[in-house]
Amino acid sequence: MKNDLPISELYRLAAEEWCDLDGAARLMEDSKSAILAQWINDYGDIPVSRAEAKVKSSDNWLRLVEQTAEARTKANKSKIQCDYLRMKFSEEIGKDANSRIERKLG
């Protein structure tokens, strides 16, 4: 069970997931211009500005933009999980330090 793992291992797993999700989001973001160029080219012999307008007003383009945003949101949420684990680890260290001080004083 994941809850039985040390925070360091939970962090490693979360960081790996974030890297994968961030990579997927970056790939989608970086591919948009190439996909746009391909779809513009599919229109053949019409002015590029008109073809671009047709592509960007299409359902396919809207889906691509939505999928790209969803991929970035997933990556960002995964990064938040990494940050949370880092903060949780810091809190645990602080609690341990406080406990040691209290034992010395008591």
Residue 7, helix vs strand vs coil = helix
pLDDT digits (tens, 9 = 90+) for 63-73: 999 999 999 99
pLDDT digits (tens, 9 = 90+) for 62-101: 999 999 999 999 999 999 999 999 999 888 888 776 777 7
Q: Which domain holds residue 90?
A: 2-105
Is this prediction's pTM over 0.75? yes
Q: In Å, what is the CA distance from 105 to each residue of 83, 96, 99? A: 33, 14, 10
What does the alpha-carbon distance between residue 101 and residue 106 come to, in Å, rounded to a whole number?
Answer: 9
Total of domains in the chain: 1
pLDDT above 50: residue 1: no
